[in-house]
Structure 1
Amino acid sequence: MPPRPRLPAWRLPARHLHASAWTKQPRTAAPPLSTSIAASLARAAGEEQAGRTELHGWIRSIRRQKNISFAVLSDGSQVGGVQVVLPKGLDDNLTVGCSASLQGQWVESRGKGQDKEFKVETVDFVGESDAETYPMPNTKQGIPLPVMRKNAHLRARKEGPAAVLRVRSEMNWAMANYLRREGFVRVEMPVITSSDCEGAGEVFRVVEAAPEAPAPASTAPASSPPPAESNASATDSSSTPPPPASPSRYLTVSTQLHLEAITSSLPRAYTLAPCFRAEKSDTARHLQEFTMLEAEVAFLDADAPTALDQVMTVAEETVRAIAAHVRAMPDTEAHFAKHSPGLVGRFDALLALERYPRISYTDVVALLQAHHARDPAAFAFAPTWGAGLQTEHERWLAEVHVQGPVFVTDYPTALKPFYMLPNSPSSSSASPSGAATAVGPTTACFDLLVPQLGELAGGSLREHRVTELERAMAAHGLDPRAYEWYLDLRRYGTTRHGGFGLGWERLVGLLTGEGNVRECTAFPRAAEGSRF
C-alpha cells in the first residue's frame, strides 16, 4: 500500500503543526479607541468632578484674546462643536481646519449657550491646515452649495452635512431593524446587469476601457502581458466561427427583477443598493447615482386591491419606523431648534395615528381638474387622465388636499412598465370610492407622495402569469429571450407577489429638512458632474 502523501504545513490542522509554527498567543486587549466628544461631554455632565481627559477633533473657529483663546472643536458626533479654552501659547499652531488632540478637563462654562466647556492643559497633536486656502471657512454669509459639493471630501466638516450623515446612518439601522422584525432577509444585489428594468433607456452602459486609455489607480501588481500567438494559431483561429456576442451590460437602474428571483425562495426580501440612471434632469430631486431601498413580498392575497394594500402597508410601516427613530434621536430637538423648526409638523404628519390615505389615480385626476377649473392659474400643466402626474400636482395633493403622506393607486397601464399586474376590467372601470370613472385600463400599482417633495416611493403587484407577461413584453417591444430567466420565475413555482422601491436620498432630505438630494449623500453624482 503506497504511503499517504504528506500535506504541506499550511494544509495541516492546527493540532498537527509544530509549536514553532503555531503557538497560542495570550488574548490581550488593544488600547481602546478614543471617546467621541459627545460621549465625553455626556459623561462629564453626570460627574460633579470630571477628571483629566482627551478630546480629538477639528478646529471650526478660533477667537484669540490677550491672554486666552476660545476655539470650537468638533468631531461630527453632535450638532455643533464644543468650546475649548486655551491659555496663551497653546493656541499657536491652531488654525481653522486643523485637527487637534487636546488634553484637559471639563469645567462649568461661564458663557452662554453651553453648560460645560473644555479647559485645555496640553496640546498633544496638530494636523496642520492653511486657514487662508481652507475651502470650508466659517463665514457669516455661509458657503454656497456648489462650493460645498465641489469640496465634498471636506464638506462633512461643516455642521449640517455631518448631521445629515449621522441621521442617514441611524435611518439605515432603523430600517434594517424593522424589516428584520418583520421577517425580511437582506440580500446584496448585482450592480452590473443585462436588463433595463424600467425600460426607459436611461442606463449607463458598462464597457471595457480602451487599451490606450490610462488605467485607474490600483495597488495590485502589474500583470504580465499574454504571450503572443504564433502565425499558425492565428490562421487556425480565422477559420473558427466567432463566439456568440455577449449581452450588453449596464449599471442597474433597479434591483427589482433580481429581488423577485430571491422571493421565489425567500418570501420576504429587501436590499439597500446603489442604482444609476443616465437622465439629464438637473433638479433638486434627481441624482444619476442614488440609493434605493427595495422590498419584495411573496404569497400575497388573491384579491388584487387587498394584495396591493398589503404592499402599501409594508412601505408605510417602514417609513414610520424610520421616522420614529429619527424623531427620538438626542440631536433631533437641537436640529429642529437651530435649523428647521418646520420639521416638527413634517414628522407629525408622517407619524399620525391614522394610516396614510389611499386615493386612486382616477379620483386624483378628478380632484385636480376640479381645482384647476376653480383656479386656472393653479397648475402650469392641465391635469388629464392618461398623463403622468406632474410634481406640482403631487405636491398640491399632499400639501394642500391631504396635508400629509398619501398613496395614489391604479395608474393607467400605458404609463407603467411591463412587469406590473393589470387590474381586471371591472376594477379599472371605476375608482374604489365610485367618484370617478377610469378612461382606460389601469394597473395595480401605487406612488407614495409626501409634502415638500412629491413622490417618495413607488410599487406594484407583479404580473405572475407567464403568458400575460410575454404578451406585455411584446407590447413594450422587448425581446423575451433577454428575459428568459425572469420568465422562468413564472414557469417554476410562481407566487402572487409585489414590492416597492423608495428613494433613500429623498427620505433623508425629508427627515433632515434638506431641500436638495445632492446634500443627502456624501459624494453626489448628478447631471452637473463630479470630480470624485
Structure 2
Amino acid sequence: MERTKVTNLIKSDHPIENVWVKGWVRTKRDAKSFSFIELNDGSCLKNIQIIVDETIDNYDAVKKITTGAALAVRGKLVESKGGGQQWEIQASQVDVISLAPDTFPLQKKRHSDEFLRSIAHLRPRTNKYGAVFRIRSELSFGVHQFFRQRGFRYIQTPIITGSDCEGAGELFRVTTLNPSMPTPPAGKFDFANDFFGTESNLTVSGQLSAEMFALALGDVYTFGPTFRAENSNTSRHVAEFWMIEPEMAFCDLTGNMELGETLVKHLIQFTMDHCSQDMELFARFVDKQLMPTLDNIVSSDFERLPYKDAVDILQKAKVSFSYPIEYGLDLQSEHERYLTEKHLKKPIIIYDYPKTIKPFYMRLNDDEQTVAAMDILVPRIGEIIGGSQREERLDVLERQMETAGLSKDSYWWYLDSRRYGTVPHSGFGMGFERMLMLVTGVTNIRDVIPFPRTPGTIDF
C-alpha cells in the first residue's frame, strides 16, 4: 500500500477507510487504555493525531514509543472527536521503525535559535525550521517559474574560477598544492605547478560568465551557490550563500530596475499564494508585522532615487547613525532601512553610484563620475538586489580595468565579448537567503540556510 502524506490527509474532504502514513513522533500521551500520538512527516506544518487502542497487538511496544521515534501507521481516517483538528487516524497497526532515546534534544518546549544552530542536522524537525525549508523549496521553484515564463534560459556558471568578479579579494582559494611546501623567494605559491596552472578560487558571482551567454542567447539567468571569505559574524553574512543572477542583452539600466522590482513582487506573492500555512507561523510567532510589510512591498511602486539624493536625505535626517554619511561612501544597512522604513516607508531603487565605490564592469555615465548601477532596498532587509548596466564599450572597459589594477591578459575572454558584436546589456544579483529572510521575518541569515558556513564553523 502506498504511503499517504500528512498534508493530503489533513486536506481530505471525506473519511478514508484505509490509510498508511509514516513519520516522526512529535508528542505522545498515554491514557488508561489508549495512547494519543502526534505524528509529522515533514510534508506540512500540522501533525496528524493517531489514536492507538490497547486492543492493538503490540500495544506494549506502543507504550514505549518516545518523542522523535519513527513510525509506520495503518488505520482509518475519521472525524476527530477532540478539538484542534478535523481528522485523526484510528490505528489498526503501528510499526515502530526506530526509537529515539530520552536524550533526543528536541522535546516539547521552545528552543532558542542559537541552540538549534548547534544541532543543525536535527533542527528541520522543529515547526519553525521545517516551515523555513519548505518555503525555501517552494521559493526555489518560484524563481525558475518566473524566468521561464519570461523566456529566460537557465545556465550553470562555474563554481571554480580564475576571476574575481567583485574585485574585493575575499576569495576562497582552490588548490592541490601542499600548503606546507616551501614557497619561492618571493614568498608566493608557484601556481604554475597547481592543478589549473594558475591561481583559482571559489566564485563570488556567476555574472561574468552569464554575460557571455546573454550575448549569445539573449536573456539568461543563473541560480546557484557563491562563496565569500569575509571574516564576519554578523546576522547578514555567511561564507556560502545562493544567488539569483539574471543577465539581459539589449537591456539598459531602466529595464534592469523594472525586472528587479517585478521579481521581488513575484516571489513575495508566490510565497503568500503557495506557503500560506507556513507563513502564518512566522506572522504569529516571529514578526507580527510580517504580512503588512509584505503587502506594502507588493502593492507599492518602488521609488527611484539617485544616490546623490539619497545621501542628501540621510545627511538631513535627524537621526544619529553609527556609520558616517558622505558622498562617495557605501550606504550601510542602517541607512538603507531608514530610507525604506522611516523616510519613504516603501521599497526604493537607488541608482547612479559614484564609480569609485563600484566594480570595473559597470557602465560609465556621461558625467564620467558615476556608473549606471542600482540597488533595490526593501523594509527590514535593506539591500536585496544589486546590479547595473554593464560597460559594453571596449575602450572604456579597458580604461576602467587599468584604473582598478586588473590584468587585461587575465580577462582576455571578457574583453573579447566587447570586440565581437557587443551590445548594451545589464543584470543583477539577488541574495536568495535575504529574500527568505524577507518573506519569513527571520532576522539571522544562518536560520534560512540548511547548514550555515561561518568563520570557525563547518561542523555539518
TM-score by length of 2: 0.92
CA 1:337–1:310 in structure 2 vs 1: closer, same or farther (change >3 Å)?
closer
The residue number in structure 2 matching 1:119 is: 90
1:365 equivalent to 2:311? Answer: yes
Return the match for 1:344 from 265, 278, 291: 291
The residue type equivalent to 2:421 in the other structure is G
The 8 Å contact of residues 316 and 356 in structure 1, kept in 2 or not, is answered as yes
Q: CA deviation at 1:175?
A: 1.6
| Aligned partner of residue 22 in structure 2, secondary structure | strand
The residue number in structure 1 matching 2:111 is: 143
The residue number in structure 2 matching 1:413 is: 355
The 8 Å contact of residues 282 and 441 in structure 2, kept in 1 or not, is answered as no
Give me the whole-angstrom Cα distance separating, in 1, the residues matched to 2:341 and 2:334: 10
CA 1:337–1:423 in structure 2 vs 1: closer, same or farther (change >3 Å)?
closer
The 8 Å contact of residues 336 and 344 in structure 1, kept in 2 or not, is answered as no
* Structure whose residues are more often strand by fraction: 2
Unaligned runs of 5+ in 2: 182-191
Q: CA deviation at 1:248?
A: 0.6
The 8 Å contact of residues 76 and 159 in structure 1, kept in 2 or not, is answered as no
Return the match for 1:467 from 395, 410, 421: 395
The residue number in structure 2 matching 1:295 is: 246
Q: How does 1:303-382 map to 2 (within 5 A)?
A: 307-329=252-274, 330-332=276-278, 334-335=280-281, 338-339=284-285, 340-352=287-299, 354-371=300-317, 374-375=318-319, 378-382=320-324
| Aligned partner of residue 52 in structure 1, secondary structure | strand
Return the match for 1:51 from 17, 21, 28: 17
Return the match for 2:71 from 100, 104, 118: 100
The residue type equivalent to 1:50 in the other structure is I
Q: 1:493-529 deviations in whole A, cap 9, x for unaligned?
A: 1110010000001101111121111111111112241
The residue number in structure 2 matching 1:91 is: 62
The 8 Å contact of residues 79 and 86 in structure 2, kept in 1 or not, is answered as yes
The residue number in structure 2 matching 1:520 is: 448
1:258 equivalent to 2:209? Answer: yes
Give me the whole-angstrom Cα distance separating, in 1, the residues matched to 2:52 and 2:290: 37
Q: CA deviation at 1:325?
A: 1.2
What root-mean-square deviation, in Å, do the aligned CA atoms of Structure 1 and Structure 2 show?
2.0
Return the match for 1:487 from 415, 435, 438: 415
The residue number in structure 1 matching 2:338 is: 396
The 8 Å contact of residues 79 and 334 in structure 1, kept in 2 or not, is answered as no
The 8 Å contact of residues 150 and 530 in structure 1, kept in 2 or not, is answered as no
Q: 1:354-378 deviations in whole A, cap 9, x for unaligned?
A: 421111111111111111xx34xx3
Give me the whole-angstrom Cα distance separating, in 1, the residues matched to 2:454 and 2:221: 26
The residue number in structure 2 matching 1:128 is: 99
CA 1:497–1:333 in structure 2 vs 1: closer, same or farther (change >3 Å)?
closer
The 8 Å contact of residues 36 and 75 in structure 1, kept in 2 or not, is answered as yes
The residue number in structure 2 matching 1:40 is: 9
The residue number in structure 2 matching 1:500 is: 428
* Aligned pairs, number: 442
The 8 Å contact of residues 10 and 86 in structure 2, kept in 1 or not, is answered as no
Give me the whole-angstrom Cα distance separating, in 2, the residues matched to 1:334 and 1:273: 28
| Aligned partner of residue 180 in structure 1, secondary structure | helix
Q: How does 1:239-258 map to 2 (within 5 A)?
A: 246-258=197-209
Q: CA deviation at 1:332?
A: 4.7
Q: CA deviation at 1:382?
A: 3.0
CA 1:208–1:135 in structure 2 vs 1: closer, same or farther (change >3 Å)?
farther
The residue number in structure 2 matching 1:384 is: 326
Give me the whole-angstrom Cα distance separating, in 2, the residues matched to 1:297 and 1:490: 15
Give me the whole-angstrom Cα distance separating, in 1, the residues matched to 2:107 and 2:193: 59
The 8 Å contact of residues 45 and 277 in structure 2, kept in 1 or not, is answered as yes
1:280 equivalent to 2:249? Answer: no
| Deviation >3 Å, runs of 4+ | 209-213, 242-245
| Aligned partner of residue 493 in structure 1, secondary structure | coil
Give me the whole-angstrom Cα distance separating, in 1, the residues matched to 2:434 and 2:348: 16
Give me the whole-angstrom Cα distance separating, in 2, the residues matched to 1:271 and 1:115: 43
Percent of matched pairs sharing the same residue = 37
Give me the whole-angstrom Cα distance separating, in 2, the residues matched to 1:106 and 1:338: 29
The 8 Å contact of residues 104 and 119 in structure 1, kept in 2 or not, is answered as yes
The residue number in structure 1 matching 2:123 is: 155
The residue type equivalent to 1:65 in the other structure is A
Q: 1:435-486 deviations in whole A, cap 9, x for unaligned?
A: xxxxxx1111111111111111100011111111111111011111110111
The residue type equivalent to 2:43 in the other structure is S
> Which sits farther off after the overlay, 398-407 or 104-113?
104-113
1:82 equivalent to 2:28? Answer: no
Q: 1:89-117 deviations in whole A, cap 9, x for unaligned?
A: 26224111111111112222232221222
Give me the whole-angstrom Cα distance separating, in 2, the residues matched to 1:155 and 1:135: 10
The 8 Å contact of residues 30 and 63 in structure 2, kept in 1 or not, is answered as no
CA 1:159–1:210 in structure 2 vs 1: closer, same or farther (change >3 Å)?
same
Give me the whole-angstrom Cα distance separating, in 2, the residues matched to 1:367 and 1:394: 11
1:69 equivalent to 2:35? Answer: yes
Q: CA deviation at 1:333?
A: 6.0
CA 1:337–1:365 in structure 2 vs 1: closer, same or farther (change >3 Å)?
closer
CA 1:283–1:65 in structure 2 vs 1: closer, same or farther (change >3 Å)?
same
1:176 equivalent to 2:144? Answer: yes
Unaligned runs of 5+ in 1: 1-30, 214-241, 301-306, 429-440
Return the match for 2:438 from 475, 489, 510: 510
Q: CA deviation at 1:172?
A: 1.4
Q: How does 1:428-443 map to 2 (within 5 A)?
A: 441-443=369-371
The residue number in structure 1 matching 2:187 is: none
The residue number in structure 1 matching 2:221 is: 270
| Aligned partner of residue 117 in structure 2, secondary structure | helix
Q: CA deviation at 1:174?
A: 1.5
The 8 Å contact of residues 282 and 528 in structure 1, kept in 2 or not, is answered as no
The 8 Å contact of residues 61 and 71 in structure 1, kept in 2 or not, is answered as yes
The residue type equivalent to 1:35 in the other structure is T
Give me the whole-angstrom Cα distance separating, in 2, the residues matched to 1:70 and 1:125: 15
Q: CA deviation at 1:209?
A: 6.5
1:197 equivalent to 2:165? Answer: yes
| Aligned partner of residue 395 in structure 1, secondary structure | helix
| Aligned partner of residue 387 in structure 1, secondary structure | coil
